[in-house]
Amino acid sequence: MSNVLILVDSVSGKVSKSTAEIATFAKRIGDVTAVICSSDSAALIPQLSGLSIDKTITCTGVEFEKLSTGAVAAALAAVIAKESPSAVLIASSARGKEIAGRLSVRIESGIITDAIDLDADLVATQSVFGGSTTVHSVVTHGTPIVTIRGNSIEAISGTGPSTHEEVAVSYDGDRAAVSSVAPAVKSGRPELTEASIIVSGGKGTDGNFTPVEELADALGGAVGASRAATDAGWYPHSLQVGQTGKTVSPQLYIAAGISGAIQHRAGMQTSKTIVAVNKDPEAPIFDVADFGIVGDLFTVLPQVRDGVNAKKA
């Protein structure tokens, strides 16, 4: 039986949703070993129970949070040398892709990023060119390193890890150091790339995101923005959806006051269900919408919010 390594992704002592998803893909290939490179390992291990993970390996001896991602890549390389896995799966976050990139150089192995599916034979599916093309690819050299986009699979539960090991690692690479971290102010909303529902606002909001936020909150979703809205300074760049922002693929994407230029569609058109609200009946967003409303978002969104809240009551 082959063995697959996954890297546990966590923020502030909490295991990310992506870890369960990656474990689900890994289980298709073989036994799953979850590698923990975090000073919160004691808090993380109990959270892995119930996931499709067979074993954990905690890397000790390095303060990963204070170093560049090179330290995680070096730790993974040490574990790979010991375990000889058939593949390594990592979350497709900015941090995850960096770790994967450094690891591929370090262990001289091929890399595939942003997979949305991975079969038992390690054939990865990617959605490229803004979702307009589906590609199947394989790593042909070394230990395949694949990063997997969030929300690509419904995570299945498993027995959880029964074996726990520790591996002492060291890092003598680059000395970039994190000197301070001001924890992010939590909006209380899900992470954009993890959310099942996203409501995004664009130029049509004219800078007023209140109806967008209120509908997102009624649906338990995240808030996104088009490039026009972030460029205007109405919403943070970190929440921009599109070619030069985040690529998302939620169950439901609601585009409010967004015309839907290629730039934006590239970041959201693989969403399962797309809803568009726009005053302009010719807006290209309607070409990809499952449900389009030609109307004013300031009257439509509150009506939807009230309808959703009424159903919950």
DSSP class of residue 183 equals P
Opening angle at CA 271, ends 303 and 17, nearest 5? 100
Q: Which stretch binds other proteins (CB under 8 A): 26-34, 54-62, 94-102, 150-158?
A: 94-102
What tokens does 177 get?
């150091």
CB of 46 to other proteins, least distance (A): 21
Map residues 243-282 to x or -, x wherever contact with other proteins holds by CB under 8 A: xx--x---xx--------xxx-----xx--xxx-----x-
What distance in Å separates the CA atoms of residue 227 and residue 211, rounded to the nearest whole number?
18
CB of 180 to other proteins, least distance (A): 5
Map residues 208-247 to x or -, x wherever contact with other proteins holds by CB under 8 A: -----------x----------x------xx----xx--x
Please select the residue that binds other proteins; options are 7, 197, 223, 229, rule is CB under 8 A.
Answer: 197
Q: Does 287 interact with other proteins (rule: CB under 8 A)?
A: yes
User: Coil, helix or strand for 257?
Assistant: coil
Q: Which stretch binds other proteins (CB under 8 A): 54-62, 78-86, 156-164, 183-191?
A: 183-191
Contact 233/247 with Cβ under 8 angstroms?
A: no
CB of 145 to other proteins, least distance (A): 9
What distance in Å separates the CA atoms of residue 31 and residue 87, rounded to the nearest whole number?
11
Contact 214/199 with Cβ under 8 angstroms?
A: no
CB of 55 to other proteins, least distance (A): 26
Nearer to other proteins, 31 or 191 (CB): 191
Nearer to other proteins, 55 or 298 (CB): 298
Touching other proteins, residues 112-151 (CB under 8 A): 112-114, 123, 127-142
Q: Does 161 interact with other proteins (rule: CB under 8 A)?
A: no
Place of tokens 């939620």: 250
Please select the residue that binds other proteins; options are 52, 104, 249, 259, rule is CB under 8 A.
Answer: 104
Place of tokens 């970190």: 238
Touching other proteins, residues 17-46 (CB under 8 A): none
CA nearest to 248, candidates 224, 275, 229 = 224
CB atoms within 10 A of CB 37: 26
Q: Does 303 interact with other proteins (rule: CB under 8 A)?
A: yes
Nearer to other proteins, 47 or 52 (CB): 47
Q: Does 187 interact with other proteins (rule: CB under 8 A)?
A: no
What distance in Å separates the CA atoms of residue 95 and residue 39, rounded to the nearest whole number?
16
User: Coil, helix or strand for 130?
Assistant: coil
Q: Does 69 interact with other proteins (rule: CB under 8 A)?
A: yes
Which residues does 48 contact at the CB level (< 8 Å), separation at least 6? 8, 15, 19, 34, 56, 160, 161
CB atoms within 10 A of CB 246: 20
Q: Which stretch binds other proteins (CB under 8 A): 21-29, 78-86, 108-116, 151-159?
A: 108-116
